[in-house]
Structure 1
Amino acid sequence: FDFSVINGEVYEVDPENAGVTLTIDDTPQTVDEVVFDFEWTGQIARFNVTGQFSYDQNQTYTDGIVREEDLLGFDISFFAPDGTLLRTYEDNHLTFPEFNFAYDTNTGEILQDGAFMGEEGFNVGEKTPVGDGTFTGLSFFSRPELNPQGEVPPPHLHIDDWSDEFGFPLGFSTHEDVAFFTRTTQQLLDTGRMGEAYIDDVQDSLDEFGERIQVSFVDDSFIPVFGSLGGDTIEVDGGNQLVFGGAEDDLIDASLTSETGNRIYGQSGDDTLILGTGDRALGGDGDDRFFVLSDGDNLITGGAGMDQFWIATAEIPEEINTITDFTSGEDVIGLAGLGIGFADLSITQQDADTLIALGNDELAKLLGINAGSLSAADFAFAASL
Structure 2
Amino acid sequence: MFGSDGDDRIFGNPGNDTIDGAAGDDVVFGGKDNDFIVGRDGDDRLRGDRANDTVTGDNGNDVLFGGKGLDLLFGGEGNDTISGDLAQDTLIGGAGSDLFLLGQNGAVADVASADLIADFQVGIDSIGLSGDLTAANLRLETVDCSTVIRLADSGQVLAVVHLVKPEELLGNFVTANITLI
**Same structural fold, with TM-score higher than 0.5 when normalized by the shorter chain:** yes
Structure 1 residue 383 displacement after superposition: 6.2
Q: Distance in 2 between matches of 1:384 and 1:240?
A: 25
Q: Distance in 2 between matches of 1:363 and 1:357?
A: 6
Q: Distance in 1 between matches of 2:34 and 2:84?
A: 18
Distance 1:286 1:384, change over 3 A: closer
Distance 1:306 1:382, change over 3 A: closer
Q: Distance in 2 between matches of 1:280 and 1:383?
A: 22
Supply the AA of the counterpart residue of 2:149. Answer: I
SS, match of residue 66 in structure 2: strand
1:278 corresponds to 2:73: no
1:267 corresponds to 2:62: no
Q: Distance in 2 between matches of 1:243 and 1:226?
A: 6
Structure 1 residue 265 displacement after superposition: 0.9
Alignment of 1:113-128 (within 5 A): none
SS, match of residue 355 in structure 1: strand
Corresponding position of 2:141: 348
Q: Distance in 2 between matches of 1:234 and 1:383?
A: 21
Contact 1:316/1:361, CA 8 A, preserved across alignment: no
Contact 2:147/2:160, CA 8 A, preserved across alignment: yes
Q: Distance in 2 between matches of 1:292 and 1:379?
A: 17
Q: Percent identity?
A: 27
Structure 1 residue 370 displacement after superposition: 1.4
Distance 1:349 1:253, change over 3 A: same
Structure 1 residue 235 displacement after superposition: 0.4
Alignment of 1:291-302 (within 5 A): 291-293=83-85, 295-302=86-93
Supply the AA of the counterpart residue of 1:317. Answer: A
Q: Find the partner of 2:164 among 341, 346, 369.
A: 369
Q: Deviations over 1:300-331 (max 9, x none)?
A: 1000000000021x624344111100012111
Distance 1:384 1:238, change over 3 A: closer
SS, match of residue 315 in structure 1: helix
Contact 1:274/1:291, CA 8 A, preserved across alignment: yes
Q: Distance in 1 between matches of 2:160 and 2:94?
A: 17
Give the gaps of 5 or more residues in structure 1.
1-220
SS, match of residue 368 in structure 1: coil
Corresponding position of 1:239: 33
Structure 1 residue 223 displacement after superposition: 3.5
Corresponding position of 1:287: 79
Contact 2:84/2:90, CA 8 A, preserved across alignment: no
Q: Distance in 1 between matches of 2:46 and 2:87?
A: 16
Alignment of 1:98-247 (within 5 A): 223-247=17-41
Corresponding position of 2:7: none
Contact 1:296/1:317, CA 8 A, preserved across alignment: no
Alignment of 1:66-105 (within 5 A): none
Structure 1 residue 343 displacement after superposition: 2.2
RMSD of aligned alpha carbons: 2.0
Supply the AA of the counterpart residue of 1:301. Answer: I
Corresponding position of 1:317: 107
SS, match of residue 25 in structure 2: coil
Q: Distance in 2 between matches of 1:320 and 1:235?
A: 23
Q: Distance in 1 between matches of 2:173 and 2:17?
A: 36
Structure 1 residue 381 displacement after superposition: 2.2
Corresponding position of 1:99: none
SS, match of residue 60 in structure 2: coil
Bigger relative CO (Cα 8 Å, ≥ 6 apart): 2
Structure 1 residue 248 displacement after superposition: 0.7
Structure 1 residue 291 displacement after superposition: 2.4
Structure 1 residue 253 displacement after superposition: 1.3
Q: Find the partner of 1:303 among 71, 94, 98.
A: 94
Q: Deviations over 1:131-154 (max 9, x none)?
A: xxxxxxxxxxxxxxxxxxxxxxxx
